[in-house]
Amino acid sequence: MNIEFGNTALEELYTTGSTQDQQYRRLSKDIVKRYIKVVNFIKAARRIEDLFLIKSLHYEKKKGDLNGVDAVWINEQYRLLFTSSPDADGIIVNALLIEISKHYEK
């Protein structure tokens, strides 16, 4: 799947394992490590349906205030929020990573 980062902090976390962004700099090393693993799962998926097969991700489409946003678990407390979009053939193969969110804070 094609991955784009919604902000530089998410890209820094993925490429270097740390960031100076206030929102994410206090994340534990374990959470950052799991975030990188989840992004790698998303990158390896050929289409969005492949994420359904990885049970540990608990993939879901959000409703309400986050309508149109997809979410996967980083761990029981943190979620990776992203939007997905189709290619020319209508197969969902693009993901824009939005943020790492604490569950139930949104």
What is the pLDDT at residue 36? 97
**Domains along the sequence of the chain with CATH:** 2-102 (3.30.2310.20)
pTM metric for this prediction: 0.90
Instruction: Answer whether 13's CB lies under 8 Å from 24's CB.
Output: yes
Q: What is the mean pLDDT of the chain?
A: 92
Q: What is the tens place of the pLDDT at every residue in 6-48? A: 999 999 999 999 999 999 989 999 999 999 999 999 999 998 8
List Cβ<8 Å contacts ≥24 apart for 37-41.
38/72, 38/73, 38/74, 38/80, 39/3, 39/14, 39/80, 39/97, 41/72
Residue 41's SS3 state is helix
